[in-house]
Amino acid sequence: MLINNIKAISKIPSVQRYSLFFNRGYKVGVNSVKEGNIIEHKGKNWLVLNKDHSVMGRGSATIKLEIKDLSSDYKIVERFKPKDDLEIVEQRTSTYQYLYHDADEIHLLHPETSDQISVQLSALVGGEKAINFLQEEMSLVVSILEDGNPVSAKLPSSGIYEVESVTMKAKQASRGVMKVPGFLKGGMQVMVPEFVQSGDKVQIDLNTFEYMGRA
């Protein structure tokens, strides 16, 4: 049996044989794909930047993925049906501290080895909105391919920020707490409960960029 299998494999073109032994990806339903995953699509590897689930007419669902080609800065939005499968490219993750960023890259420091790496700013999960929430020494999760190439960085699940100002609205009859626009240090705007005041520190969900509570 083993000899027969070897003979069968020897008849497969070399490129396909390479895929048999070295393709370490795995397939999942598109519903299970997460921001920060790397997927194989149309013969290329893509970083998932954003995911949106919407229901169209007659109850049909569509999942939109904003993805970035790892070989360039080219981004597209692809639509999938919930029953579709995608191949996830395996990667390892490591935690780095944020140092600073420039127009093109995020510069990070490994807290144990002091190694410094750079990740493309366009590879920050959450896109341009996430850039505004970066903080000095914030811990970011970096995804690294088997060749050692860092391909994405992700903010922690939440962060603490100081409220710089709050825009109050005229009082209205309401059974609940009204939410008003709040501006954090750095200029980011989030909706906060009306009792939040300038100078308060608040916890922000860095997956949705929404108010979680006072810190």
pLDDT 10s per residue in the chain (215 long)? Answer: 434 443 443 443 333 322 333 345 789 999 999 988 999 999 899 999 999 988 776 767 899 999 999 888 789 999 999 999 999 998 899 999 999 999 999 999 999 999 999 999 988 998 889 999 999 999 999 999 888 889 899 999 999 999 999 998 766 656 678 999 999 999 999 999 999 999 999 999 999 999 999 99
Longest dimension (CA), the chain: 82
Spatial contact of 64 and 77, defined as CB atoms under 8 Å apart: yes
* The pLDDT of residue 24: 57
The model's pTM = 0.73
Alpha-carbon distance of 114 to 110, in angstroms, equals 5
* The pLDDT of residue 97: 98
* The pLDDT of residue 59: 67
State the CATH class of domain 158-214. Answer: mainly beta
CATH code for the domain defined by 92-154:
2.40.50.140
Spatial contact of 30 and 38, defined as CB atoms under 8 Å apart: no
* The pLDDT of residue 25: 73
CB atoms within 10 A of CB 118: 15
Number of Cα atoms under 13 Å in the Cβ half of residue 137: 2
**Do the domains 158-214 and 25-89 match in fold?**
no
Q: Which fold has domain 25-89?
A: SH3 type barrels. (2.30.30)
* The pLDDT of residue 147: 81
Spatial contact of 120 and 88, defined as CB atoms under 8 Å apart: no
* DSSP three-state, residue 107: strand
Domain ranges in the chain are 25-89, 92-154, 158-214
Distances (CA, A) of 164 to 3, 137, 207: 72, 21, 22
